[in-house]
A and B are shown apart, each in its own frame.
Chain A
């Protein structure tokens, strides 16, 4: 069949046009679709067979006896092959899946605790496979580290090669341009009868010279060749494609390194602050603190952050969204080495101060509770942050009174900013703002379990050593208070008061009666800038490498046996290049128009 013979010859010619050394270096099992691409070859089954010629003898997989050095080289070549990279990429995608199915300690520690409670048999098994720490697990790390070793092994030789290619001459003009995929020709003036040989070759020479000049202007690197008196120009463009590809892959490594090393110098800490209170940026002042591996706490600037006021705005008009939060703003004052400044922190608008980033991550109510002994002496008074449990801010908090009363007492409180009663008799909150605030307290007495110095969460009450005095099964109603009210504690222990923050307000205006708290995350992450820089390089590299066409173009002035001089134009794509044929045609039109036509 004519067409198949043609395509084989064409293939050979394309290969010779390619094997000139300035092509980007690729792993042995690279396939850009040009080797043997004829019609639907790519789709044909069984194109798995090794493509003869493109893989050197070294890459033979079945080499019989290998010495230790050869083994290492063999293994290295396998690791840095396209196939391995692909395999590892797909593995990485699969390995990331379980972390979305099972709660992760890093992002959802409470979820993990819950999971253990719900699946007591399964959870430990999963845990032994690090399923709750997928993204730091041995197996996940192994995959991405191997991938990056492969990547580095891939880009180093390619970068070296590319740096050389940037200085190399465009390849020699192939013998038969007409065999290339993009080809066209134009006749040059000065045919057999009306011009002597010398004039014809001068015309040919000047046509090639002008082609070279035009290609150069179009951004090609050009080189003149004269093969057996046939003048031609060889041109290549699109080195940026490979540059972009290398920048892209190198920047991937950059991101990994920045995260791995840079992250170690940072920290993150959390702190809850009630309105009117403040916190000083020192290690001891944080509720929780996670330093990076290389973090040095001497680097904390001890500025003071005071929460002046927390504004919470809820939807009041749209009946489809009553109570939906509209805005949270924490008005704060920063006092530090540079003086005092008033600032706002909002969701999406963190504060950047003294090398730390301060985020407003949550807020809620901190009812002010005062406990007095039977003589009226204050033994406890504080605004206690209550943790919100739902969208209408039903909140739970714990009050511990270790000293001053006959017994230690602990109270578990429920706070309802706008209380109403369900048909079951249980209380609930129907609106997140303070319309009808009610606080209920279950009182326990006994041993709080904090005397021996064991650290206890301030948000939890260990009731194992305590006796419940109100609420639940006790038959005694829970203590129930509105702002400004107080009541007797059971057993004559004393009194408890729910203080109002706005004692002078009208009787039914509770809007300012309970202070709010804000929970702040404070971070320092020196890697962030680097990650951003590398991310931008990734994006830029990607754009270059996917959209800059890399192509070769040749123009040759051939004298045909009948004496006519014909200008041959051919192009060869290096990688995906949909515009190649058009580019060749257009160049020929432009150039042949410039050259004299018969």
Chain B
């Protein structure tokens, strides 16, 4: 068996494990809905319990109440995105950001075995995925990102990596994004393996450059962050819709969203993830220009790929501005982040496959 064949087997194994993770994350979301439904019903029945300090990261510091239905509590520290210890001299839970708590109660959710399984599976899938990518690199004796199949292979690996790293360092529990992340990775990886696969071939002269290593890798990393930012923005929009109608509609109280951070916290998280992506994208654009100068004799020529890189950059600059513009903060800026990521996907798929230009490196 060649290294490339082993790599392919690893890819398929990774996809299988991602699928298991995806299912486990979905079960978790379903359980969240059930938990908020119970909480709502319990509250309606008047069986109020002692208010709990709501904490979206509850599994890390489990609120061991045992009771399936914990009473609605103020959004508390979940809103601020930080796990602040209770402040001396102030009532716990009445933090500033939690002011909206009256309108959109957050439901404490407690432990979730399926979430544990899901994260464990994600880590295993990630390891297989990493092995597949590294093996592909060895099979080709170069970096494994020189054609569309390899871009997808490495790109999805970066998305999972960013997700896992953010899980490690973020103070807010973001595991609920797993459904989206593993779903996206699964789809992209599947499409790439089935439709874009090309066997190992040597690099054409235009790609023989250190800039292949730098430019493409940074671009791929940027996409990893944008993907996560996109997911957060989508959840943010769903959350803010729920917050707007929660007072009237009972059904939304029972949504899994009730167990997630409030929309402002989600917006702040999305912003932080997206600005990292934006900086990486800025660097991508510049490194690309330097490379273009070396390879094609001009640093900027409005080639289709350059145009779309520019468009994406401007859209995210717009997103950053929108967040600082009255009337655009919140939902509207979230839409810009979503448009931005759509443009990223468009740039990777449609522009690569159907548009004519100098960047004809799909290998297909």
* Contacts from A to B (Cβ < 8 Å): 1-4, 6-7, 10, 26, 29-33, 37-45, 47-48, 50-51, 82-83, 85-86, 89-90, 92-93, 96-97, 99-100, 103-104, 106-108, 111, 134-135, 178, 181, 183-186, 268, 315, 318, 320-321, 324-328, 346-350, 357, 359, 361, 521, 523, 525, 528, 531-532, 535, 538-539, 542-543, 546, 576, 578, 581-582, 585
Least Cβ–Cβ distance between A148 and chain B, in angstroms: 13
**A104: which of B199, B302, B322, B329 is its contact (CB, 8 Å)?**
B302
Least Cβ–Cβ distance between A201 and chain B, in angstroms: 22
Determine the main DSSP class of B at the interface with A.
helix
B279 contacts A542, C-beta separation under 8 Å: yes
Contact residues in B for A10 (Cβ distance below 8 Å):
96
Instruction: Judge if B205 is at the interface, Cβ distance under 8 Å.
Output: yes
Determine the main DSSP class of A at the interface with B.
mixed
CA distance A347 to B89 in the complex (A): 69
Contact residues in B for A97 (Cβ distance below 8 Å):
307, 311
A523 to B, closest residue via Cβ: B297
Tell me the B285-343 residues at the A interface (CB within 8 Å). 286, 289-291, 293-299, 301-304, 307-308, 310-311, 314-315, 317-318, 321-331, 336
B268 contacts A96, C-beta separation under 8 Å: no
Least Cβ–Cβ distance between A416 and chain B, in angstroms: 22
B236 contacts A321, C-beta separation under 8 Å: no
A39 contacts B302, C-beta separation under 8 Å: no
Least Cβ–Cβ distance between B185 and chain A, in angstroms: 27
Contact residues in A for B89 (Cβ distance below 8 Å):
178, 185
**A29: which of B79, B85, B263, B327 is its contact (CB, 8 Å)?**
B327
Instruction: Judge if B187 is at the interface, Cβ distance under 8 Å.
Output: no
A317 to B, closest residue via Cβ: B202
Contact residues in B for A134 (Cβ distance below 8 Å):
302
Contact residues in A for B33 (Cβ distance below 8 Å):
none
Least Cβ–Cβ distance between A534 and chain B, in angstroms: 10
B310 contacts A96, C-beta separation under 8 Å: yes
Least Cβ–Cβ distance between A592 and chain B, in angstroms: 11
**A539: which of B101, B286, B307 is its contact (CB, 8 Å)?**
B286
B297 contacts A357, C-beta separation under 8 Å: yes
B294 contacts A349, C-beta separation under 8 Å: yes
Which residue among A32, A93, A328, A347 has the maximum number of chain B CB atoms within 10 Å of its CB? A93
Tell me the B74-133 residues at the A interface (CB within 8 Å). 75, 79-82, 84-85, 87-90, 94, 96-104
CB-CB under 8 A for A85 and B321, given A318-B201, A521-B297: yes
**B82: which of A26, A29, A33, A581 is its contact (CB, 8 Å)?**
A581
B301 contacts A106, C-beta separation under 8 Å: yes
Instruction: Judge if B264 is at the interface, Cβ distance under 8 Å.
Output: yes
**B282: which of A45, A350, A542 is its contact (CB, 8 Å)?**
A542
A42 contacts B263, C-beta separation under 8 Å: yes
Instruction: Judge if B180 is at the interface, Cβ distance under 8 Å.
Output: no
A531 to B, closest residue via Cβ: B299
Least Cβ–Cβ distance between B241 and chain A, in angstroms: 8
Tell me the B265-280 residues at the A interface (CB within 8 Å). 267-268, 271-272, 275, 278-279
CA distance A572 to B20 in the complex (A): 45
A578 contacts B81, C-beta separation under 8 Å: yes
A86 contacts B321, C-beta separation under 8 Å: yes
Instruction: Judge if B28 is at the interface, Cβ distance under 8 Å.
Output: no
Instruction: Judge if B204 is at the interface, Cβ distance under 8 Å.
Output: yes
Contact residues in A for B322 (Cβ distance below 8 Å):
86
Contact residues in A for B308 (Cβ distance below 8 Å):
100
Least Cβ–Cβ distance between B202 and chain A, in angstroms: 6
Instruction: Judge if B349 is at the interface, Cβ distance under 8 Å.
Output: no
Please list 14 pairs of residues, one from A and one from B, whose beta carbons are closer than 8 Å in the complex, sorted by A's number. A37-B264, A41-B264, A43-B263, A44-B244, A85-B321, A89-B314, A89-B318, A89-B321, A93-B318, A96-B307, A100-B304, A349-B294, A523-B297, A542-B278
Contact residues in B for A546 (Cβ distance below 8 Å):
275, 278-279
B301 contacts A4, C-beta separation under 8 Å: no
B100 contacts A31, C-beta separation under 8 Å: no
B208 contacts A348, C-beta separation under 8 Å: yes
A39 contacts B94, C-beta separation under 8 Å: no
Contacts beyond the supplied A97-B307, A320-B201, A542-B279: 9 A-B pairs with Cβ under 8 Å: A40-B264, A45-B244, A82-B324, A185-B88, A324-B204, A328-B205, A539-B283, A576-B271, A585-B85
Least Cβ–Cβ distance between B364 and chain A, in angstroms: 13
A92 contacts B314, C-beta separation under 8 Å: yes
Instruction: Judge if B239 is at the interface, Cβ distance under 8 Å.
Output: yes
CA distance A189 to B321 in the complex (A): 48
CA distance A263 to B55 in the complex (A): 57
B87 to A, closest residue via Cβ: A184
A184 to B, closest residue via Cβ: B87
CA distance A324 to B203 in the complex (A): 9
CA distance A44 to B104 in the complex (A): 12
CB-CB under 8 A for A535 and B264, given A32-B324, A39-B75, A528-B299: no
B100 contacts A359, C-beta separation under 8 Å: no
B240 contacts A43, C-beta separation under 8 Å: yes
CA distance A217 to B322 in the complex (A): 36
Per-position contact with A for B48-59: 1 when CB-CB < 8 Å, else 0? 000000000000
Least Cβ–Cβ distance between A513 and chain B, in angstroms: 24
CB-CB under 8 A for A82 and B321, given A44-B240, A50-B326, A347-B208: yes
Contact residues in A for B166 (Cβ distance below 8 Å):
none
CA distance A321 to B203 in the complex (A): 10
Contact residues in A for B315 (Cβ distance below 8 Å):
90, 93
A7 contacts B307, C-beta separation under 8 Å: no
Least Cβ–Cβ distance between A260 and chain B, in angstroms: 13
**A320: which of B200, B268, B328 is its contact (CB, 8 Å)?**
B200
Per-position contact with A for B154-185: 1 when CB-CB < 8 Å, else 0? 00000000000000000000000000000000
Contact residues in A for B150 (Cβ distance below 8 Å):
none
**B301: which of A30, A107, A532 is its contact (CB, 8 Å)?**
A107
A7 contacts B99, C-beta separation under 8 Å: yes
A347 to B, closest residue via Cβ: B205
A3 contacts B99, C-beta separation under 8 Å: yes
Instruction: Judge if B191 is at the interface, Cβ distance under 8 Å.
Output: no
**A39: which of B88, B101, B209 is its contact (CB, 8 Å)?**
B101
Instruction: Judge if B345 is at the interface, Cβ distance under 8 Å.
Output: no
CA distance A147 to B313 in the complex (A): 15
Least Cβ–Cβ distance between B27 and chain A, in angstroms: 28
Contact residues in A for B243 (Cβ distance below 8 Å):
40, 43-44
Contact residues in B for A315 (Cβ distance below 8 Å):
201-202
Contact residues in A for B142 (Cβ distance below 8 Å):
none
Q: Closest 8 CB pairs between A and B?
A: A39-B100, A43-B240, A42-B330, A38-B99, A321-B201, A359-B297, A43-B263, A82-B325
Contact residues in A for B289 (Cβ distance below 8 Å):
535
A1 contacts B102, C-beta separation under 8 Å: yes
Per-position contact with A for B236-269: 1 when CB-CB < 8 Å, else 0? 1001100110000000000000000011100110
Contact residues in A for B314 (Cβ distance below 8 Å):
89-90, 92-93, 96
A361 contacts B296, C-beta separation under 8 Å: yes
Contact residues in B for A535 (Cβ distance below 8 Å):
286, 289
B295 to A, closest residue via Cβ: A348
CB-CB under 8 A for A43 and B356, given A89-B314, A320-B199, A528-B299: no
